[in-house]
Amino acid sequence: MALDLTGRQRAFRDELRAFYAKHVEPGWRERCADFEELGRYLLDWERVLAGAGWSVPTWPAEHGGRDADAVERAIFTEETARFDAPEGLNRLGKRLVAPVLWQYGTPAQREHLERIRSGTEVWCQGFSEPDAGSDLVNIRTRAVRDGDEWVVDGAKIWTSFAQFADWIILLVRTGAADSRADGISVLLVDLRSPGIEISPIQTISGRSEFNEVSFSDVRVPVANLVGDENQGWAIVRSVLQDERGADYCLARYSDIRRILTDVARDVSAAKPASAVHYSRLGTDYARVYAIQVLASDLLERGQRGEAPEGLESLLKLYTTETWRTLGDDQVRVWGSRYFDGGPAERLHDYAESRHYTISAGTSEIQRNLIASRILALPSGRRKGA
C-alpha cells in the first residue's frame, strides 16, 4: 500500500523493519512440532516484542505503547505480513482486556496492564457457552455474591489459548435467570483458582487452540468485578466492537496475505496454468488489499470519532469471507492432492479459513448487524425471542 509518510511514520517503519530482520526466524512455524510447542514459542516471542518495545504499539504511551496512529497501524500490519512475523500469544489480553481495564477498571485492576504488556501474564476470554454462542444475552454461567466473594458455576467454550492463560475475563449472570442483557456482569478470574478445569478441543485442523473451561464453586474476590453489578452489557459491546474491528482485521490480514502468496505460487506452478485461476487470483489480490484500505479507513474514522456503528461488522465479514475464498481457491488449484498429502500448514490454513467466519461473531450475525445498524432495516428476530 503506497503511503506518503511523515518523518515519524518513516522512522516507525524503519525501526520495525530492522527489528523484524534481526529477530524473525524464517520457517518458525515448521520448527514447532505440535500446538503445545507453538504456544511456548509464541509466549517467548511476546517477551521478545516487549523487550524491544514492540509488544503494544497501538497502546497509549502512558501504558507502555507507542501511540501509533492509523497509518502506523497499517505500517505495522504491512511489515508484519512482509516478514511473516508471529503475532504472539497474548493478543486477547493486549487487544481486548486492556481497553476494558483503561475504561472501566479500578486502579488495582489496571495493575494487570504492565504484566499484559510485558508478556508475563496471558489472558483469555470467557464469553461463549455451550448453549449461548453468538447470542451472549442467553449466558447461564452464574455468579452469586457470598460476603466478599462471588461464587461462580458454569462453563465456557471456544476459549482460545486458555491452556496457556493465567487469567480470564469472564461474562457471568448476576441477575435473575431471565434478565438477559440487564443481569450480566464482568469478572476478572485467576485461572489458578480451585474449581476450574480446562479441556482442550481438537479442531478440524488437528490443533487445540480452543478449550472448554468449567467452573465449579469458584471463589472470586468482589474486588475483581469490572464496573457495576448487572451493568456488564455495555462492556461486552465495547469488547465485541474491538474483537471484530480494524485491529482484528489488520491482524488477520497478515495471515491472509501470506496465504495469497501461496495461492499465487500455486497458480504459477500449475501446468497448464488456467486462465480461470489467473482471473480468480486477480480478484483475490484486489480483495486482500481492500482489507488493508478499509481497515485503515476505519482506524482513521475512529481516531476522529466519526466511525459509524456497524462498520466494524462490515469489515469483519469482508475479511473472513475473503479468507474463506482464498481457501477455496487453493483447493481449486490443488484438487484432491490438497487433502491427500498436501502441505500440513496449508491444510491448517484451510481449516482456519472456516472457523474465522464463526469466531468473533458468525458471518450471519455480522449480516444482521449490518442490516440493522447501517441499513436501518427492521430486525428479523421474533418478538420475545
Domain assignments of the chain as residue spans, ordered by start: 7-89, 123-231, 244-374
Handedness of CA 78, 352, 208, 136 (dihedral sign): positive
Reported confidence tier of residue 197, pLDDT bands at 50, 70, 90: very high
CATH fold of 244-374: Butyryl-CoA Dehydrogenase, subunit A; domain 3 (1.20.140)
Specify the pLDDT at position 84: 86
Reported confidence tier of residue 273, pLDDT bands at 50, 70, 90: low
Contact, 89 vs 39, CB < 8 A?
Answer: yes
Catalytically annotated residue among 78, 79, 209, 243: 243
HSE, CB side, 13 Å, CA atoms: give it for residue 56. 24
Q: What residues pair up with 125 in beta bridges, in sequence order?
A: 169
* Stretch 54-66: mean pLDDT: 90
Contact, 220 vs 183, CB < 8 A?
Answer: no
Give pLDDT tens digits for 276-302.
Answer: 777 777 888 888 888 777 777 777 777
Residue 128 has pLDDT above 80, yes or no: yes
SS3 258: helix
In angstroms, rounded to a whole number, what is the distance separating the alpha carbons of residues 80 and 16?
9
Reported confidence tier of residue 165, pLDDT bands at 50, 70, 90: very high
State the CB neighbour count (10 A cutoff) for residue 176: 10
Cell of 286: 484486489
CA-nearest of 178, 180, 179, 157 to 168 is 157
CATH number assigned to the domain covering 123-231: 2.40.110.10
Residue 355 has pLDDT above 80, yes or no: no
Max mean pLDDT range (11-25, 51-65, 244-258, 321-335): 11-25
Q: What angle do CA 239, 124, 325 make, to 5 degrees?
A: 70
Amino acid identity, residue 54? Answer: W
Domain covering 7-89 assigned CATH 1.10.540.10 in the classification: yes
Contact, 373 vs 309, CB < 8 A?
Answer: yes
Beta strands per DSSP E along the chain: 123-126, 142-146, 149-156, 167-173, 184-190, 196-201, 210-221, 225-226
CATH fold match for the domains 123-231 and 244-374: no
Specify the pLDDT at position 245: 59
CA-nearest of 47, 35, 87, 48 to 210 is 35
Reported confidence tier of residue 1, pLDDT bands at 50, 70, 90: very low
**243 included as an active-site residue:** yes
Which residues does 361 contact at the CB level (< 8 Å), separation at least 6?
Answer: 134, 240, 243, 244, 313, 316, 369
